[in-house]
Amino acid sequence: MKKEAKHLYKKAIDSLTLSVEIFNRPNDCGRIPGVLIFMDHAFEMLLKASIIAKGGRIKETGAKETIGFSACIRKGFSDASLKFLNEEEVLTLQSLNGLRDAAQHYTLEMSEQHIYFQAQAGLTLFRDITRRVFNINLKTQLPVRVLPLSTSPPMDIQAFFASEITDIKKLLIPNSRKKLEANEKLRALAIMENSIQGNESQPSDKELNNLAEKLSKGSTWVQLFPSVSTLSFTQNGYGPSLDLRISKNEGVPITIVPEGTLGSNVLAIKRVNELDFYNLGRDAIAKKLNHTGPKITAAVQIFNIKNDPECFKQIKIGNSLFDRYSQKTIEKIREGLKEKTIDEIWMEYRTK
């Protein structure tokens, strides 16, 4: 293992151990934020160690500071030369990071079951990455006793959300004066929903108030958190050797119907800013790949980039049309250049 990666990995193990130690603490003082903050730090160190071990960089050219948590996730998932994360693991990491952010910078209330499955799923994922990237069995790095334990083991995720909503409804009873506590518990659930949708921002007070109002009017948890219905727990083993992972199912099919259709539920339809997704022009790609614009044009044609909707879209602004490319275009061209040199592509393009 490279020296820098080894140093970061040691820091990751230290923070993971502290996270689990705080989880098992009999005193509840600062327990939930302590678990989340140390586990989040453990993963940031582990992700950076993994990127370095795979030959990547954790500092951009000329930057004084290393990349942040979200950038580490993107590298581990999207960079073809480094990839060591899958989609479900990204979901677990984004959810944990969002909860940590709320716990560290404001207030957050989580039930024992919620903090349990976040801690156990986190420990399982830490073990998976450690084995996958470093070929190390995490059990050899930690004392046998260092595992999350709970007197209230987790149920399936649908039952868990239904139970959480029932508790929140009790807090929202008129004249109970517990709206703040209800919003704190709603914040934890909303962070998980946002993570599944790829939204890393914290829910606003307005969004939480809207959720509370809809809940008071009889909305179900599936209507409020539709993306969560696509998740399930995958459990292997039992006792100290329990593995718990958050898995993504196919989910409930959604059909868009006219407003007011009998028997239909109202869901928010998220429109992504296309210019944010297709955020590259040809010359920007050429600069990133260190080739000329015309040769990138050749690569775009030879690799059929414009036939891939995840890579290319022609966007109309005013009366003008612009060819725009996503970040995936860079990965696709890099993969193609492993099979053909840019000069071979240029000759093929000229011939055609």
- Please, what is the Cα angle at 243 between 240 and 244, to 5 degrees? 125
**What's the Cα-to-Cα distance from 311 to each of 28, 200, 264, 282, 330, rounded to whole Å?**
49, 23, 34, 12, 9
Do 51 and 187 belong to one domain? yes
Do 129 and 13 belong to one domain? yes
Residue 259 falls inside a structural domain = no
Query: Structural domain tally of the chain?
Result: 2
Residue 263 falls inside a structural domain = no
Do 235 and 306 belong to one domain? no
Residue 153: which of 233, 91, 42 has the closest Cα?
233
Residue 264 falls inside a structural domain = no
Residue 306: which of 319, 321, 288 has the closest Cα?
321
Do 241 and 310 belong to one domain? no
How far is CA 209 from its chain centroid? 25
Residue 93 falls inside a structural domain = yes
Residue 257 falls inside a structural domain = no
Do 158 and 236 belong to one domain? yes
Instruction: Decide: pTM greater than 0.85.
Output: no
Do 77 and 152 belong to one domain? yes
Residue 124 falls inside a structural domain = yes
Nearest 5°: phi and psi at 232?
-155, 165
97, 39 Cβ separation under 8 angstroms: no
Do 65 and 189 belong to one domain? yes
Do 238 and 285 belong to one domain? no
Q: Determine the structural domain holding residue 279 and report its residue range.
A: 274-351
Which two three-digit tokens encode residue 187? 């914040």
157, 232 Cβ separation under 8 angstroms: yes
Q: Which residues are within 8 A (CB) of 173 and not within 5 positions of it... i.e. 6 or more apart?
A: none
pLDDT tens profile 189-217:
888 888 877 777 788 888 899 988 888 88
Q: Which helix (H) or strand (E) holds 321?
A: strand 320-325
pLDDT tens profile 19-71:
999 999 888 999 999 999 999 999 999 999 999 999 999 998 788 899 999 99
Straight-line distance from the first to the last Cα atom of the chain, in angstroms, rounded to the nearest whole number: 47
Do 200 and 293 belong to one domain? no
Q: Which of 248, 282, 298 represents a domain boundary (last residue)?
A: 248
Residue 228 falls inside a structural domain = yes
Q: Which residues are within 8 A (CB) of 300 and not within 5 positions of it... i.e. 6 or more apart?
A: 282, 306, 312, 325, 329, 333
Could you read off the pLDDT tens digit of each residue along the chain, which spans 352 residues? 889 999 999 999 999 999 999 999 888 999 999 999 999 999 999 999 999 999 999 998 788 899 999 999 999 998 888 899 988 899 899 999 999 999 998 888 898 888 988 898 899 899 999 999 999 988 888 776 666 666 665 566 778 888 888 889 888 888 777 888 888 889 988 888 888 777 777 888 888 999 888 888 888 888 888 877 677 766 665 444 556 776 666 544 444 445 454 444 444 444 445 666 788 899 999 998 999 999 999 999 999 999 888 788 888 777 788 899 988 899 899 989 998 899 999 999 998 7
Do 220 and 332 belong to one domain? no
Q: Which of 213, 248, 283 represents a domain boundary (last residue)?
A: 248
Do 216 and 295 belong to one domain? no
Do 211 and 127 belong to one domain? yes
Residue 266 falls inside a structural domain = no
